[in-house]
Amino acid sequence: MITDKSGTCPIRSEQDVVLSRQLVRRIAQQHGLRLVDQTKLVTAVSELARNAVIYGKGGDMDWSVIDSGARTGVRLVFRDNGPGIPDIKQAMTDGWTSGSGLGLGLAGAKRLVDEFELQSAPGEGTRITIIKWN
């Protein structure tokens, strides 16, 4: 049982990607997200955490449980101090990749969550905030 309403977990290695997925799964389960929504959120976490490790050279994930009155949501912030994204529009395009992946990570993750915000600039790292409501 996770009793805290917020916390931070490191995303430095492949193993951390697995741990962050498991942590978010437990948080989402506890706060009443349906199975499909849990699966979508955890899949988005996997994409974004892997990006932080591979492209951001490691970072952190802040998690918090938020309340809008009627609904409860899980908010996650992925932060890294990597090289940043020079062209955000291009990075959000399906099929575009700067590495060897499929280029589905960012655009795909955005489709899987309810709210998605990306802040990044060259040399200033990347910060992605996502929210999934129950």
Q: Does 46 bind other proteins (CB under 8 A)?
A: yes
One-letter amino acid at 71 equals: R
Which DSSP category does 60 fall into?
E
Residue of 11, 105, 120, 131 interacting with other proteins (CB under 8 A): 105
Residues 6+ apart with CB under 8 A from 130: 41, 44, 48, 75, 76, 78, 109, 113, 115, 116, 117
Q: Does 128 bind other proteins (CB under 8 A)?
A: no
Q: Does 98 bind other proteins (CB under 8 A)?
A: no
Residue of 23, 28, 31, 47 interacting with other proteins (CB under 8 A): 47
Q: Does 18 bind other proteins (CB under 8 A)?
A: yes
* Residue closer to other proteins (CB basis): 35 or 70: 35
Of the candidates 77, 56, 81, 89, which has an alpha carbon nearest to the alpha carbon of residue 131? 77
* Residue closer to other proteins (CB basis): 66 or 107: 107
Tokens representing 1 are 């049982």
Q: Does 38 bind other proteins (CB under 8 A)?
A: yes
